[in-house]
Amino acid sequence: MKGSGRISYTLRELAERFGGEVVGDPATRVHQVATLEHAGAGTLAFLANARYLPQLAHTGASAVLLAPSMRDATALPRIVCEDPYVHFARVSTLFNPPRAAVPGVHPSAFVDTTARVAPDAEIGPHAVVGKEASVGSGSVVGAGCTLGERVRIGAHTRLHARVTVYDDCVLGNRVVVHSGVVIGADGFGLAMAEGRWIKIPQIGRVVIGDDVEIGANTTIDRGAIDDTVIEEGVKLDNQIQIAHNVRIGAHTAIAACVGIAGSTRIGRHCRIGGAAGLAGHITIADGVEISGYTAVTKSIDKPGVYSGLYPFEANREWRRNAVHLRHLADLAERLRSLEKRFEALGRSKA
């Protein structure tokens, strides 16, 4: 198990660091987190959902994190806290810190003579750092990464293997970018003239703020003229497409396979579910939650939860209902006509 053999902490020490009330032996030591089902000696599990209460009775964990409403659900040593899942996240980070940079440039890497790499940064095997690019203190550029010309990477940022960052793009501090991500490829900018497409040069950048995490194989297109901007604290899952000139507000989280068309602006503290699609040139207000598979075709100007999922059903029923949906406009018109006739009939009787 990752983290085994690392320093352990008592429940008292964890509560002093992260809050919560210790019930039971405060000297109980733990060295790793685990699920209730697979926990063993020396691990700390958590219970945030009552449906897992049966697992609590049989867990092998040395201690657990519980909400106040479940304070007496076990005799195990425990930390009682308002949000066990958040507490678990903080403890897990304590037990499983990211690997520190190993200062130096691998012999197989290429770093242009005009580039600036901090002495304590790590440049991995076969990585390329282009002209006038810069890599900040404590940052890691993983194996096979390519940084284009004038790319700027902040401090303590980690690029996992095979990340590509095109010319002039900027990544802030403590950014995590997973394998296969492409930052700064051309946006889909085309103009039709005489039956042929003319490519519009994409001359903007991608600018990414501090503490952003970008999941594997996500693509973020550079701006057509102005920049594509990902503000601080944004969390992006795997395989997301972000088109040119999009702006995503701080601390927004977006799940896998979401597609965001060009020039859309998404507010702060939004949450977007998996496989949702957002049309271009729209604005999403702060604090909006969009359910998975929802198609958003117009702006949302008020916070709240928005859903557009058509529920699945047996294929035969779906095909029958699809036929009705195809004629929905005609049915609505017929209904309006009937309403007018009834109104006219009511007036004539009056």
DSSP string, 43-55: EEEEE-SGGGHHH
Report the run of H or E that residue 306 belongs to, with start and end: strand 304-306
- Domain 9-95 has what CATH class? alpha beta
Of 61, 57, 31, residue with least CA distance to 45: 61
Q: Which amino acid is at 137?
A: S
Residue 242: DSSP 8-state: E
Separation of alpha carbons 150 and 315, rounded Å: 54
Backbone φ and ψ of 323, nearest 5°: -60, -45
Question: Which residues, 6+ apart, have CB-to-CB distance to 226 below 8 Å?
Answer: 204, 245
Backbone φ and ψ of 321, nearest 5°: -70, -35
Report the run of H or E that residue 84 belongs to, with start and end: helix 84-95
The per-residue pLDDT for 321 is 87
The per-residue pLDDT for 347 is 79
**Angle, helices 84-95/11-18, rounded to nearest 10 degrees:** 110
Separation of alpha carbons 286 and 301, rounded Å: 8
Active site residues: 244
The per-residue pLDDT for 101 is 97
Kindly report the number of other CB atoms within 10 A of residue 182's CB atom: 17
Give me the CATH topology for the region 104-306.
UDP N-Acetylglucosamine Acyltransferase; domain 1 (2.160.10)
> pTM for the complete prediction?
0.90
Sign of CA pseudo-dihedral 286, 289, 292, 297: negative
- The two beta strands, 122-123 and 134-135, are unpaired
Residue 303: DSSP 8-state: -
The per-residue pLDDT for 1 is 47
Contact between 63 and 44 (Cβ < 8 Å): yes
Separation of alpha carbons 181 and 194, rounded Å: 36
* SS3 state at 283: strand
Between CA 73 and CA 77, with CA 75 as vertex, the angle to 5 degrees is 110
State the Cα torsion 119-120-124-127 to the nearest 10°: -40
Residues of the chain with pLDDT under 50: 1, 3
Q: Which amino acid is at 236?
A: L
Q: Which residues on adjacent β-strands are paired with residue 87? A: none
